Structure 1
Amino acid sequence: MDTQLFISVLVTLFVIMDPPGTVPLFLSLTADMTSKLRNRSALQALAVAAGVITAFAVFGQNILSYMHISLAALQGAGGLLLILIALQLLTGTNNGTENANRYKNVAFVPLGTPLMAGPGAIVAVMVFAQQADSPARVAAVIAGVLLTFISLYLAMRFASLIQKILGEDGVELVTRIAGLLLSAIAVQMIADSVQDFVGTWS
């Protein structure tokens, strides 16, 4: 397995999906549920997110080819998108719980998508899927995605306990650090995109 790619996938998806940051959102969206229903909602949300991300990872190349979009363009667009998400994390302007009551099943919307399988995660997985050009790199991408989803499930499964341990200030701190890391990853993606474009021009 490509260890470097695995770490890159894990860190990128972890800071985008932000398992600790899902704790307050998950608790607020499932506040009226019993413990059993809350656990079922967590599993449903993960299934929805996994399905969406897998679909884009598998068919993303076909979509790009059909629309004549290069990997460099995708990386640049993804970097810009991740910067917007990072700014939300850094400034605390995430409104994921807004109008949540209008959804019949919060596990599908907004938990599964767009909170987990949002545009940032989708773009990141598509980019990593393009880089998986060998069995070792494919294994690295799959392992990174799976470990991120396991982290998300554990965060939701033990949301009440995590919030008690970290406290509101602790969750806020983790969210801000995730935003900082994500902004650095976004800038690197844009830089790589520019470098690829310049290479095609020379």
Structure 2
Amino acid sequence: MDPSFLITAWVALFVIIDPIGMTPLFVALTQGDSPSRRRAIALRACIAGALILIVFASFGESVLEFVGISMPAFRIAGGLLLFLTALDMLFERRTKRRKDQADEEDDREDPSIYPLAIPLIGGPGAITTVILLAGQQPGIEGLAWVIGVMLSVVLLVFLLFLTAGLLERALGRTGINVITRLLGMLLAALAVQFVLDGLKGFGLAG
């Protein structure tokens, strides 16, 4: 395997998945959770996100075509779902729900699958990237390398998620609230970009 391809693949997935940028978001989404619950959420999110990317790396766009969904439509759907999460963060709806559910630990909202696993870890950008990378290296060996590179990035995401408690203590409640709103704005912008990319795919936006 060409080392330059592996480096390019790792950098591409690192930039798209953005483990460093996702860590403060993980802190905001799991604010007030116990360390054990945070670890469980992080593990579920990373496993689910990795499985999603493995499926798409292995079978490519045929997975979407099988159910009649185009990649632009998938980008738009991911953007809309992400926008709903951004609204929750901007207007503290998530925080209010957590207070209402404080005495029902087992029933509390779990962000591991949505929005962490998808569309943040296994989002349209990452899915498109693994499809393209797998296409550049056809065959079982090439697919194995692409999956291995992807798993290394997801492992980094998990390790950074484990630092969430330290980050939360460093920022404090006020700092977390400020970061949550700032990230809500950034998440809303990312969501809009997903939608615009999808519209471009349909030829509806320049």
- Decide: shared fold, TM above 0.5: yes
Whether the 8 Å CA contact 2:45–2:116 is kept in 1: the answer is no
Aligned sequence identity (%): 23
**2:17 aligned to which of 3, 9, 33:** 9
Q: How many positions carry a matched residue from both structures? A: 177
- Equivalent residues in 2 for 1:101-180, closer than 5 Å: 101-102=103-104, 104=106, 110=109, 114-119=110-115, 121-124=117-120, 125-127=122-124, 128-132=126-130, 133-134=132-133, 141-156=150-165, 158=166, 162-180=167-185
- Return the TM-score normalized by structure 1: 0.70
Go from structure 1 to structure 2 and tell me whether the alpha carbon gap of 1:11 and 1:44 turns closer, same or farther (over 3 Å shift). Answer: closer
Q: Which runs of 5+ in 1 are unaligned?
A: 31-37
Whether the 8 Å CA contact 1:5–1:137 is kept in 2: the answer is no
Q: Which runs of 5+ in 2 are unaligned?
A: 1-6, 134-141
Note if 1:185 corresponds to 2:190: yes
Partner of 2:40: 44
SS in 2 for 1:94: helix
Partner of 1:19: 26
SS in 2 for 1:24: coil
Report the aligned-residue RMSD: 3.2
Go from structure 1 to structure 2 and tell me whether the alpha carbon gap of 1:185 and 1:93 turns closer, same or farther (over 3 Å shift). Answer: same
Go from structure 1 to structure 2 and tell me whether the alpha carbon gap of 1:100 and 1:56 turns closer, same or farther (over 3 Å shift). Answer: farther
Note if 1:84 corresponds to 2:84: yes
- Could you tell me which amino acid in structure 2 is paired with residue 130 of structure 1? T
- Return the TM-score normalized by structure 2: 0.69
